[in-house]
């Protein structure tokens, strides 16, 4: 008597992983592999789990390309509902493909609040993003009349380089113009 061994495919992994990812979107491929192998009494190669997880993530959250296209729709909606807000999106074109590069976002009420009610001081810094998009979240934060942090603008940059910080600071200047006696504080990283 011959036994037939069926190895789970990416499609099978994706179908099982969808519910798991909805409950725990941060589960790693290794942990997912262990869970599937334990729950279903199968042996699955790591690369199959990795690709199956990618398929499941696309099913749960949509594809990167779709998310990128939604960014421009979101910008149009923000501009319609909050006129005077600033949302700058810069893209790169490589071999005919368009890729996300930079982003800066400041709501009109935050801009007005800074210009009319905050101390003329901005702290500029960025934090590293770890995940599917490995870039930096840059922020311009002020101090309000209660000495509380007041968000003015934030953005996404690929890395903390001179070019990326120059782009961010130019967009920020367009956003808030030239307030008198403005002091800017930073951690003096290489790019900034």
150: Cα within 13 Å, side-chain hemisphere:
23
Please say whether the beta carbons of 169 and 88 come within 8 A. no
Clarify whether residues 50 and 71 are in a common domain. no
First to last CA, the chain: 71
pLDDT band at 150 (very low <50, low <70, confident <90, very high): very high
Contacts of 8 (CB under 8 A, 6+ apart): 36, 40, 42, 44, 48, 52
Q: Assess whether 70 and 146 both reside in one domain.
A: yes
Task: Read off the pLDDT of residues 100-138 as tens digits, 9 standing for 90 and up.
Answer: 889 999 999 999 999 999 999 999 999 998 766 788 999
pLDDT for 5 beyond 50: no
Is 33 within 8 Å of 44 (Cβ atoms)? yes
Q: What digits encode the pLDDT tens for the residues 17-46?
A: 999 998 888 899 999 999 999 998 889 999
* 3-class secondary-structure state, position 178: coil
* Number of separate domains in the chain: 2
Quick one: 37 and 76 in the same domain?
Answer: no
Express each pLDDT in 74-89 by its tens digit.
Answer: 999 999 999 999 999 9
62: pLDDT strictly greater than 50: yes
Q: Where in the sequence is the domain holding 25, given as residue range(s)?
A: 10-61
């Amino acid at each position: 008597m011959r036994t037939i061994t069926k190895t789970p495919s990416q499609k099978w992994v994706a179908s099982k992983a969808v519910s798991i990812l909805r409950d725990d979107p941060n589960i790693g491929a290794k942990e997912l592999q262990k869970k599937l192998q334990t729950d279903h009494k199968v042996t699955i190669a790591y690369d199959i789990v990795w690709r199956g997880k990618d398929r499941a993530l696309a099913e749960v959250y949509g594809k990167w390309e779709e998310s990128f296209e939604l960014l421009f729709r979101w910008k149009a909606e923000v501009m319609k509902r909050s006129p005077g807000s600033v949302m700058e999106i810069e893209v790169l074109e490589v071999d005919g493909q368009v890729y996300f590069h930079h982003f800066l976002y400041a709501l009109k009420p935050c801009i007005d609040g800074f210009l009319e009610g905050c101390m003329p001081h901005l702290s500029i810094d960025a934090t590293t993003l770890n995940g599917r998009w490995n870039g930096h979240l840059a922020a311009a934060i002020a101090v309000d009349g209660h000495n509380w942090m007041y968000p003015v603008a934030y953005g996404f940059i690929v890395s903390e380089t001179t070019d990326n910080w120059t782009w961010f600071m130019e967009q920020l200047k367009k956003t808030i113009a030239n307030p008198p006696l403005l002091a800017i504080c930073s951690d003096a990283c290489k790019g900034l």
